[in-house]
């Protein structure tokens, strides 16, 4: 019992610890009675069952605490780009893309400007890196497509079409609340946004390419293609009429260029005061290594 | 004698079960630049922030030791620092971020942190599947007979970037306020569905946070705000039985 008590006191937090103190008290009482043969044979089944159940519950909770994490592989960035001036430029850029701080956006925009000064080489480096990249690196792949989109260059069109047209692979994850198909969708939606951007800049091939995605299996891709097409010219009404005739009726609600204003959507009524209290320094707070 | 034998057998079984259930998992940080952890890691490595997060989310040593980061809270290869990164983003992405956990004014970008700190009883770190590409990223437990807690697992630590992790925390915070999903498998993604926007469920809260991050997020890049838009739109398109019809 003392071993169990020691386990529980060090490894079971808060509410559970309180509940388990009570449980352990009950347990030790029953255990002592059993050990001392104070319980008659005919009545021993019930306390034994309770004891077993309680022990199972206790150890189940303790087992939850025994997870261990170890063997950190070095978290050093993987080298996706050649060790050339342009390769290094792209490598630095994907870093600025996720940066944080007051100057994060300014540095990101400056990096984009730098890339735009050497578009042919940059596009080549990004395309090669994308093709050889492990497909499970969803965010990096998206970051490369986002960079292509931001170049606003006609030379990116074939690559964007290729990426947007690629089939979305079957689901690989098992989390009900997020999926690998979501991440694959993000990549293709961004590619379609890039195509739409070129179409808005007058690239007729890009405008025609958008039509390929009007019936895409993925709603987010379809929506982006439709919006891109609608915004590619001044003749919105004609384009909308064309889409009304072309698209299945279930998708007619997508034929618009409206963006929803987040201020106008229903919001929850957040109570004014649900204070969790202000931060207090606790003895158990982890300390930074000196 | 029989009772003693039964007791011993029972003890053997439960100890054996405990050993079997115990999990060992291995860090999977991948590229910490990609996930944003290297950048946020520079900010959270401050004792004041660590004290704040530790207290507001009621972390416990027993849930974060044994390699989960308690002994090295600045190490972004380990789960604890990666969780702190998400909490930093959650707390400080609004221009006029909330300075008290009792301040619920403003939009979701602002109240996301106070709301989560208030609703989540405690944050625990676990292996889960031990694989960043499988299993649930986070699960919140609540109820009368349950120790209220939000358990973060491998796909959360290593399968999500910092922005996604912050959205996940807001999502779980909504569950922690006793709000389950109510849409069964009736939405396009087939699980964890809310019937509609007006249910005010976890999907709505997560979308609102991401949406406001897209619109007003500060100290970040327009690329990450675009990514938040994609994430939010995706949940709108797949997480509701009745699509609310919003376009971010």
C-beta atoms of A51 and B7 within 8 A: yes
Is B52 within 8 Å of chain A by CB?
A: yes
For residue B52, what are the CA distances in angstroms to A28, B91, B113, B168?
39, 11, 12, 20
Higher-scoring residue by pLDDT: B86, A58: B86
C-beta atoms of A178 and B89 within 8 A: no
Query: What is the predicted ipTM?
Result: 0.90
Which residue is closest to B218 within chain A, CA to CA?
A102
pLDDT at B95 over 90: yes
C-beta atoms of B220 and A105 within 8 A: yes
Measured between beta carbons, which residues in chain A are less than 8 angstroms from residue B66? 66-69
Interstrand relation of A68-70 and B149-152 (parallel, antiparallel or unpaired): unpaired
Q: How far is A13 from chain B (nearest CA, A)?
A: 6
Report the alpha-carbon distance of residue B217 to residue B228 in Å, rounded: 10
C-beta atoms of B50 and A260 within 8 A: no
**A187 in Cβ contact with A140 (< 8 Å):** no
Closest by CA position to B200, among listed B184, B186, B216, B180: B180
What confidence tens digit (pLDDT) does each residue in B132-142 have? 989 999 999 99
Measured between beta carbons, which residues in chain A are less than 8 angstroms from residue B212? 262
Point out the residue among B51, B101, B221 whose CB comes nearest to the CB of A97.
Answer: B221
Report the alpha-carbon distance of residue A223 to residue A256 in Å, rounded: 9
For residue B220, what are the CA distances in angstroms to B36, B76, B127, B223?
10, 19, 30, 8
Measured between beta carbons, which residues in chain A are less than 8 angstroms from residue B117? 276
Is B155 within 8 Å of chain A by CB?
A: yes
What is the SS3 assignment for B71?
coil
Whats the size of chain B, residue-wise? 248
For residue B148, is it left (φ>0), alpha (ψ between -120 and 50) or beta? beta
The sign of the torsion formed by the CA atoms of A19, A20, A21, A27 equals positive
The helix or strand, by DSSP H or E, that contains position B150, with its residue range, turns out to be: strand B149-152
What confidence tens digit (pLDDT) does each residue in B172-219 have? 999 999 999 999 999 999 999 999 999 999 999 999 999 999 999 999
Model confidence band, residue A269 (pLDDT cutoffs 50, 70, 90):
confident
DSSP for A213-275 reads GTT-SSHHHHHHHHHHHHTTSS-HHHHHHHHHHHS-GGGGGG-------GGGS------S---
CA B17, B123, B89: angle at the middle one, nearest 5? 140
For residue B60, what are the CA distances in angstroms to A13, A18, A282?
6, 14, 10
Is B77 within 8 Å of chain A by CB?
A: yes
C-beta atoms of B54 and A285 within 8 A: yes
> Which of the residue ranges A62-71, A165-174, B99-108, B202-211 has the most confident prediction, judged by mean pLDDT?
B202-211
What confidence tens digit (pLDDT) does each residue in A134-146 have? 999 999 999 999 9
Q: Specify the pLDDT at position B39.
A: 93
Q: Specify the pLDDT at position A204.
A: 97
Q: Cα B126 from chain centroid?
A: 12
**B206 in Cβ contact with B194 (< 8 Å):** no
Q: How far is B5 from chain A (nearest CA, A)?
A: 11
Closest by CA position to B29, among listed B77, B69, B73, B72: B77
Report the alpha-carbon distance of residue A226 to residue A210 in Å, rounded: 8
**B65 in Cβ contact with B25 (< 8 Å):** no
Q: How many CB pairs under 8 A join A and B?
A: 329
Point out the residue among B62, B191, B224 whose CB comes nearest to the CB of A10.
Answer: B62
Report the alpha-carbon distance of residue B81 to residue B84 in Å, rounded: 5
Is B8 within 8 Å of chain A by CB?
A: no
What is the SS3 assignment for B210?
helix
Q: Specify the pLDDT at position A25.
A: 54
What confidence tens digit (pLDDT) does each residue in B21-66 have? 568 899 999 889 889 999 999 999 999 999 999 999 999 999 999 9
Measured between beta carbons, which residues in chain A are less than 8 angstroms from residue B205? 268
What is the SS3 assignment for B189?
coil
Q: Give the list of residues 6+ apart from residue A265 with CB closer than 8 angstroms, or none.
A: B197, B208, B244, B246
């Amino acid at each position: 019992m003392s071993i169990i008590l020691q386990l529980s006191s060090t490894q079971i937090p808060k509410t559970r610890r309180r509940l388990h103190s009570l449980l352990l008290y009950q347990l030790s009482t029953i255990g002592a009675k059993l050990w001392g043969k104070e319980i008659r044979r005919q009545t021993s089944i019930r306390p034994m069952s309770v004891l077993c159940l309680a022990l199972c519950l206790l150890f189940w909770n303790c087992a939850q605490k025994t997870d261990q994490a170890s063997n950190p592989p070095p978290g050093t960035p993987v080298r996706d780009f050649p060790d050339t001036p342009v390769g290094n430029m792209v490598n630095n850029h994907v870093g600025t893309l996720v940066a944080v701080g007051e100057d994060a956006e300014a540095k990101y925009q400056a990096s984009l400007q730098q890339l735009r000064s050497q578009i042919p080489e940059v596009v080549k480096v990004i395309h090669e890196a994308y093709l050889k990249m492990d497909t499970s690196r969803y965010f990096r792949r998206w970051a490369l497509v986002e960079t292509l989109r931001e170049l606003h260059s006609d030379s990116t069109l074939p690559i964007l079409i290729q990426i947007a047209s690629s089939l979305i692979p079957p689901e690989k994850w098992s989390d009900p609340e997020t999926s690998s198909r979501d991440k694959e969708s993000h990549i293709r939606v961004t590619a379609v946004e890039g195509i739409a951007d070129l179409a808005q800049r007058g690239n007729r091939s890009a405008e025609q390419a958008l039509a390929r995605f009007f019936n895409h299996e993925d709603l987010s891709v379809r929506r982006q293609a439709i919006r891109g097409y609608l915004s590619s010219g001044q003749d919105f009404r004609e384009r909308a009429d064309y889409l009304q005739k072309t698209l299945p009726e279930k998708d007619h609600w997508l034929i618009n260029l409206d963006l929803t204003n987040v201020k106008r959507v229903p919001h929850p009524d957040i109570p004014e005061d649900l204070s969790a209290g202000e931060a207090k320094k606790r003895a158990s707070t982890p300390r930074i290594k000196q | 004698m029989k009772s003693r034998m039964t007791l011993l057998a029972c003890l053997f079984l439960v100890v054996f079960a405990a050993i079997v259930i115990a999990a060992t998992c291995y860090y999977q940080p991948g590229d910490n630049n990609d996930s944003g952890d290297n950048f946020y890691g520079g900010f959270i490595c401050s004792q004041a922030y660590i004290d704040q997060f530790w207290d507001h989310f009621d972390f416990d040593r027993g849930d974060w030791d044994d390699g989960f980061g308690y002994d090295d809270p600045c190490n972004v290869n380990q789960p604890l620092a990666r969780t702190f990164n998400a909490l930093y983003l959650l707390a400080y992405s609004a221009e006029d971020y909330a300075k008290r956990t009792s301040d619920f004014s403003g939009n979701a970008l602002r109240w996301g942190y106070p709301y989560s700190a208030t609703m989540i009883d405690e944050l625990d770190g676990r292996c889960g599947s031990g694989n960043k590409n499988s299993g649930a990223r986070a699960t919140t437990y609540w109820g009368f007979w349950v120790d209220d807690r939000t358990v973060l697992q491998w796909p959360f630590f290593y399968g999500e970037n910092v922005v996604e992790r912050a959205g996940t925390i807001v999502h779980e915070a909504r569950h922690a306020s006793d709000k389950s999903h109510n849409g069964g498998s009736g939405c396009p993604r087939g699980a964890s569905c809310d019937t509609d926007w007006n249910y005010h469920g976890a999907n709505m809260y997560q979308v609102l946070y991401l949406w406001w991050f897209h619109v007003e997020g500060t100290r970040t890049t327009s690329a990450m705000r675009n990514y938040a838009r994609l994430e939010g739109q995706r949940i709108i398109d797949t997480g509701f039985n009745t699509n609310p019809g919003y376009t971010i």
